[in-house]
């Protein structure tokens, strides 16, 4: 006889998230207060920002981010890592509250590992994005702030999804999240091509983040660059954002012009031809290119 028939035991639902997560209504707030209203009134309001981006191309997915963690006008950490690996073929950029992002990525790592043990294979990038979106949507309205771009490679090739803490889930080729994202989008929209080479993709990602850190006060530090391939993710480089921006500016500087003494004088052939043409035309004649009315045809 089976165990569940003896002690009336039933196995938990293996398709849903782990039951170890706290319930959305289990927060310790004063009695009679709505959690959302209480957090809006008494919760800390500290300005924070970042610049993260990810884009998909034929050789995989590129993820890049700055390394400055800000808390109001205070730089809490100039060398933080905003790209968090989930497993060998999946990583994500983090934007929002650092504690929320780190916590939910640990939860996602655990849930994907449990599903891998149950099913014998890693879930797809789309399944991971759907799972993260479903878990965070239960805490909507409780001041949770997580905005991430999931970058991975599965059986269908390179995949990129954007997930927000209110349950939003979008699939696309280019995403940039954070206070510096408008500046990064300006560079990405100009230079992005799906069939670009690997080195062109590296240069585009570095250029976009470096320009964003120059314009956005809450972004800075260094530029972390990751590449997700079919064989797994790779940390390509960490470059100083200020040095990188100065190098890019030197590449864009125009070449010095030649001295005026060495400049060749403009040929006078065109001017002479125009003068001869004016002399050959009489006062009462009109050329096809002349829009003026001759004096003899004026009406009184």
183 in helix, strand or coil? helix
* The pLDDT value given to residue 216: 87
Instruction: Work out the average pLDDT over 257-286.
Output: 52
* The pLDDT value given to residue 14: 47
Q: Which domain holds residue 150?
A: 50-249
22 pLDDT above the threshold of 70: no
64 pLDDT above the threshold of 90: yes
Tell whether 82 is covered by a domain: yes
Tell whether 119 is covered by a domain: yes
Across the chain, mean pLDDT equals: 79
* The pLDDT value given to residue 27: 55
Tell whether 22 is covered by a domain: no
Which of 37, 50, 97, 198 is labelled catalytic? 50
- Quote helix, strand, coil % in the chain, to nearest 5: 35, 25, 40
250 pLDDT above the threshold of 50: yes
Return the percentage of the chain with pLDDT > 70, whole number.
68
> In whole angstroms, what is the distance from residue 66 CA to residue 80 CA?
8
269 in catalytic set: no
Q: Model confidence over 111-170: pLDDT tens digits?
A: 999 999 998 888 999 999 999 999 999 888 787 889 999 999 999 999 999 999 998 999
> In whole angstroms, what is the distance from residue 87 CA to residue 249 CA?
37
Categorize the per-residue pLDDT at 3 as very low, low, confident or very high, splitting at 50, 70 and 90: very low
* The pLDDT value given to residue 54: 96
Tell whether 266 is covered by a domain: no
Which of 201-210, 214-223, 261-270 shows the lowest mean pLDDT across its residues?
A: 261-270
Residue 191: CB atoms within 10 A of its CB come to 15
The domain tally of the chain equals: 1
Tell whether 33 is covered by a domain: no
Tell whether 157 is covered by a domain: yes
CATH for 64? 3.60.20.10
Tell whether 278 is covered by a domain: no
């Amino acid at each position: 006889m089976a165990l569940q028939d003896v002690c009336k035991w039933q196995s938990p639902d293996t398709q849903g998230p782990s039951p170890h997560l706290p319930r959305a209504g289990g927060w310790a707030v004063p009695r009679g207060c709505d959690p959302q209203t209480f957090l809006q009134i008494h919760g800390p309001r500290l300005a924070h920002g970042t610049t993260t981006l990810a884009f998909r191309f034929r050789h995989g997915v590129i993820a890049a981010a700055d390394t400055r963690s800000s808390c109001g006008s205070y730089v809490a950490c100039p060398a933080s890592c905003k790209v968090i690996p989930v497993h060998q073929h999946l990583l994500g950029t983090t934007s929002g509250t650092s504690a929320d992002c780190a916590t939910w990525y640990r939860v996602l790592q655990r849930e994907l590992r449990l599903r891998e043990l149950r099913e014998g294979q890693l879930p797809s990038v789309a399944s991971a994005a759907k799972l993260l979106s479903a878990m965070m949507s239960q805490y909507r309205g409780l001041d949770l702030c997580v905005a991430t771009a999931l970058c991975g490679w599965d059986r269908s090739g390179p995949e990129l999804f954007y997930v927000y803490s209110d349950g939003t889930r979008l699939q696309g080729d280019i995403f940039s999240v954070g206070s510096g994202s408008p500046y990064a989008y300006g560079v990405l929209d100009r230079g992005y091509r799906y069939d670009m080479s690997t080195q062109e993709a590296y240069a585009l990602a570095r250029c976009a983040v470096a320009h964003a850190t120059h314009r956005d006060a809450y972004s800075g530090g260094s530029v972390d660059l990751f590449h997700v391939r079919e064989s797994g993710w790779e940390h390509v480089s960490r470059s100083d954002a200020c040095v990188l921006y100065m190098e890019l500016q030197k590449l864009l500087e125009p070449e010095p012009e030649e001295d005026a003494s060495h400049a060749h004088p403009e040929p006078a052939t065109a001017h002479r031809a125009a003068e001869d043409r004016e002399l050959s035309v009489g006062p009462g004649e009109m050329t096809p290119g002349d829009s003026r009315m001759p004096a003899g045809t004026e009406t009184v």
